[in-house]
Amino acid sequence: MSEHNIVVFGGDHCGPEVVAEGIKVLKTVEKYSAKAGKFNLQEHQLGGCSIDTSGTPLTDAALAAAQAADAVLLGAIGGPKWGTGAVRPEQGLLRLRKELSAYGNLRPCFFASDALVDSSPLKASVCRGTDFVIVRELTGGIYFGERKEDDGDGTAWDKEPYSRAEIQRVARLAGFLARGRGDKKVWSLDKANVLATSRLWRRVVTETFADEFPELKVEHQLIDSAAMIMIKNPTALNGVIVTSNLFGDIISDEASVIPGSIGLLPSASLSGIPGQNGKCNGIYEPIHDEREIR
């Protein structure tokens, strides 16, 4: 029987409660499917709970366990208790993503059942049939660039660096996903009319799909326009959407309200394309953070 080592980060607030339900599912699969193998679960702390016990949002031991594991199951981190001070829960998650090279974040938006359509804040006639996946670049861009805090002079800034390699690999992941889904088109969201990084993004995405996925059409869309389309006519975006770290963070939260609640949607952060080029690290979690789900 095959064995799978899974590191479990319950995290903060509702995180442990959510993870507990996921573990029930894993145990049920383990019980009734011999093919699935055995799941060895190892619990560690991440986020605010880790700050409280060790002074850091992610200990070296917890990180090492995650790096050695076959997968990571994560609940939610953060909360008002830890505020925006020098040591924050989110720093642990950013470090985890970076150290696992989990550069591609998959965030689907769909209705698990047609019975849930009426729970959407959008009219059923508008949102029925929505089915897209946002592929968010996760380990580059403004969240990992240089920054300057306000040191009393009244100014602060953040830099958004992107390299060709970072853009190319997430575009490749989006293309692989679209090909597997049978989609004909991939949407790429940027702000190329203003940002230099977006112009590089658009150029590299275009070249990558032309070279590696010629059967797929790339539709470039400005992020603000895409945000309007997502509410006015979400099914127009059906398929795969690829975008940068900051834009993906924001627009995937916007997308989450379409099915009625951010608490209904899953998320996977991957270090590569599963089944290709060795081990693919994966962080699996709900899209929501520690906030109460309404």
User: Could you tell me the residue ranges of all domains in the chain?
Assistant: 1-102+271-294, 104-265
Cβ-Cβ contacts under 8 Å for 8 (sequence gap 6 or more): 19, 23, 41, 42, 43, 44, 72, 73
Query: What pLDDT, on the 0 to 100 scale, is given for residue 183?
Result: 96
**Which CATH number is correct for 104-265, 3.20.20.20, 1.10.3720.10, 3.40.50.720, 3.40.718.10?**
3.40.718.10
For residue 253, indicate whether it is catalytic: yes
Active-site hit among 70, 131, 158, 253 = 253
- Among 64-68, 168-172, 277-281, the minimum mean pLDDT is found in 277-281
The mean per-residue pLDDT over the stretch 114-126 comes to 93
For residue 162, indicate whether it is catalytic: no
Nearest to 46 by CA among 21, 82, 70: 82
The mean per-residue pLDDT over the stretch 108-129 comes to 94
Active-site hit among 183, 190, 191, 289 = 191
Q: Which tokens belong to 74? A: 């994560």
Active-site hit among 12, 190, 249, 289 = 249
Phi/psi for 244 (5° steps) reads: -75, 175
Q: Do domains 1-102+271-294 and 104-265 have the same CATH topology?
A: yes
Superfamily of domain 1-102+271-294: Isopropylmalate Dehydrogenase (3.40.718.10)
Q: Which tokens belong to 28? A: 């049920």
Confidence of residue 275 (pLDDT cuts 50, 70, 90): confident
Q: 269 near 105, Cβ under 8 Å?
A: yes
For residue 35, indicate whether it is catalytic: no
**The model's pTM:** 0.89
Classify the C-alpha dihedral 19-25-28-33 as positive or negative: negative
- Among 15-19, 84-88, 243-247, the minimum mean pLDDT is found in 84-88
